[in-house]
Structure 1
Amino acid sequence: MSILQESGVVMLLQRAVELDNLGKYKEALPCYENGLELMLKVMKDTSDESMKISLREKFEQYMGRAELLKKLLKKDNNYQSEVIQIQCDSTGHSYEQVFGRYLDERVTEVEVIDPYIRSNHQVANFVRLCELLVKSTQIKRISLTTGKELDQGAAHAQMIKLSELKESLLRRNIKLDVEYSQTLHDREIRLNNGWTIKIGRGLDYFKAAESKFSIGMYDMNLRTCHETTVNIFHVNSVAKT
């Protein structure tokens, strides 16, 4: 299993088991999750069928334990943060998949801070987020703070796109407020149920589809991604630090 050692899987999972045995479930869970993500990549890259079978058995074993820890931590109300590493060219990372589980009936207001909701595909990403909020929450108000295009024509086009979205949301009794800042650097989504999602690349972590008629054009779970880190934490966890 030297391939696992080289990839760092062994070190991560050994650390996960060590923390798990000590009862440090909150610290163990990210180690399990990161180790499993790397193991999945090794499984995809290997052509040895016997190796794949062995890896799959270990994967299911560790995955089962990780899922159990999630349930235990949520039950104890101690599961206050999560770190997700999205690898370059990986798939399966739509907004719903990455942070959809944090959207519930308590979410009525969402604040989005992202300096790059400007070009067509960036505004389209924001529309996808709004669609997820409409589908998954009792959303009443969305606040967007973003940067404005420097070119006058592009800035006008940006405002038109966001105005069209604003009108569309208003027909569902949802208010969209848009503010512009040219000094903005932060990228985060704040939910009024206490959760904050910080994405290194903001909403724009998807790569362009190969063409308008290629797989991944519309289903974002099938779209390849840029590498980025997603940090999700609850306001209670910040208060405790």
Structure 2
Amino acid sequence: MALQSAGDLLKRAIELDTAMKYSESLVCYEEGIQVLIRLMREAKNDTEKKSFHSKVEQYLARAEEIKKIVKSSEQDSHQRVKCIQIKEGDTGFSYASVFGPCLDNNITDVTVQDPYIKAKHQVHNFVRFCELLVQECSKLQSVTLVTIQADFREQSQWLGELKESLKKRKISLDIQYSTSLHDREVRFSNGWIVKMGRGLDYFQRPKGQFTIGFSNYNLRPCLETTIETFHRLNTQFVQTKHDK
């Protein structure tokens, strides 16, 4: 039974390895190797032990190579600063398109700093963004919004409704008001940071409620803005780049 399990795991590891899905492959290699080591220790004769030992060494060698590939890939990813220049009237820049590359199931906390989550359409934008997080981040526990408090009570009512909706999904929404906030950025607990010239409100107002782009943000024309995405491991690089 254990031998079959090891065989299935290592067969899957090789398939993923061949497909260059190295992170997933490494998990299967490591689990399969652990089963082989257990079988080696439980082997009743030297011949069996040597056979298992040979297989363990073979798969361990490949697993170590893949670890280097994965580490190198992660470092390269963290060294890249992606800059999106959106021109007036451009389409194809929904929240899924812009933030999707940053999202994964390791994210537990997200912080949004945006002074303009006040008007009704801006709160709607924030709701759309939270919907994306709920859909793509299965371990999400909390969302923090830092914004400027409006001088009308509807803002707190709208955000309060969203807070209750997220609470039903066991996600907390912490709303913090600032009187001097200017920067617009989103920080994810997996290390990714997105800086946005216009914050979440970079879409043009739709021509009407029954026009293309009203519901699908990927089809809605945008306002001109710049969006930068980078990893916190590379924060020093970004600061140096901006100082030049």
Alignment of 1:188-207 (within 5 A): 188-207=185-204
Q: Distance in 2 between matches of 1:73 and 1:94?
A: 30
Query: Counterpart of 1:83?
Result: 83
Q: Distance in 2 between matches of 1:76 and 1:238?
A: 15
Query: Counterpart of 2:11?
Result: none
Q: Distance in 1 between matches of 2:209 and 2:226?
A: 27
Give structure 1 stretches of 5+ with no counterpart: 1-71
Q: Look up the equivalent residue of 2:98 and give its one-letter code.
A: V
Q: With the length of structure 2 as denominator, give the TM-score of the two structures.
A: 0.66
Query: Counterpart of 1:102?
Result: 102
Alignment of 1:63-78 (within 5 A): 75=73, 77-78=75-76
Q: Distance in 2 between matches of 1:146 and 1:74?
A: 38
Give structure 2 stretches of 5+ with no counterpart: 1-69
Q: Distance in 1 between matches of 2:158 and 2:165?
A: 11
Q: Look up the equivalent residue of 2:179 and give its one-letter code.
A: Q
Query: Counterpart of 1:143?
Result: 144
Q: Distance in 2 between matches of 1:183 and 1:112?
A: 15
Q: Look up the equivalent residue of 2:203 and give its one-letter code.
A: F
Q: Look up the equivalent residue of 1:213 and give its one-letter code.
A: F
Residue 74 (structure 1) shift? 7.6
Residue 78 (structure 1) shift? 1.4
Q: Deviations over 1:78-112 (max 9, x none)?
A: 12321111111000000100121110011110000
Query: Counterpart of 1:186?
Result: 183
Q: Look up the equivalent residue of 2:104 and give its one-letter code.
A: D
Q: Look up the equivalent residue of 1:196 and give its one-letter code.
A: I
Identity, in percent, stands at 46
Q: Residues 197 and 76 of structure 1: is their aligned pair in 2 closer, same or farther, counting only changes over 3 Å? A: closer
Secondary structure of residue in 2 paired with 1:178: strand
Query: Counterpart of 1:210?
Result: 207
Residue 77 (structure 1) shift? 2.3
Residue 149 (structure 1) shift? 1.1
Q: Distance in 2 between matches of 1:114 and 1:74?
A: 34
2:156 to 159, 162, 171: 159
May I ask how many residue pairs the two structures share in their alignment? 167
Report if the CA contact (8 A) 1:198-1:230 is conserved: yes
Q: Look up the equivalent residue of 2:129 and give its one-letter code.
A: L
Q: Deviations over 1:42-67 (max 9, x none)?
A: xxxxxxxxxxxxxxxxxxxxxxxxxx
Q: Distance in 2 between matches of 1:211 and 1:77?
A: 45
Report if the CA contact (8 A) 1:73-1:79 is conserved: no
Q: Distance in 2 between matches of 1:109 and 1:79?
A: 21
Report if the CA contact (8 A) 1:116-1:122 is conserved: yes
Residue 139 (structure 1) shift? 1.0
Greater gyration radius: 2
Q: Distance in 2 between matches of 1:117 and 1:206?
A: 14
Query: Counterpart of 1:60?
Result: none
Q: Distance in 2 between matches of 1:219 and 1:112?
A: 22
Q: Look up the equivalent residue of 1:129 and give its one-letter code.
A: F
Q: Distance in 1 between matches of 2:145 and 2:95?
A: 17
Q: Deviations over 1:94-151 (max 9, x none)?
A: 010012111001111000000000010000000001000000012110000000113x
Q: Look up the equivalent residue of 1:231 and give its one-letter code.
A: E
2:218 to 204, 217, 221: 221
> Structure 1 stretches (4+) deviating beyond 4 angstroms?
none
Q: Look up the equivalent residue of 1:105 and give its one-letter code.
A: N
Q: Residues 119 and 76 of structure 1: is their aligned pair in 2 closer, same or farther, counting only changes over 3 Å? A: closer
Residue 75 (structure 1) shift? 2.3
Q: With the length of structure 1 as denominator, give the TM-score of the two structures.
A: 0.66
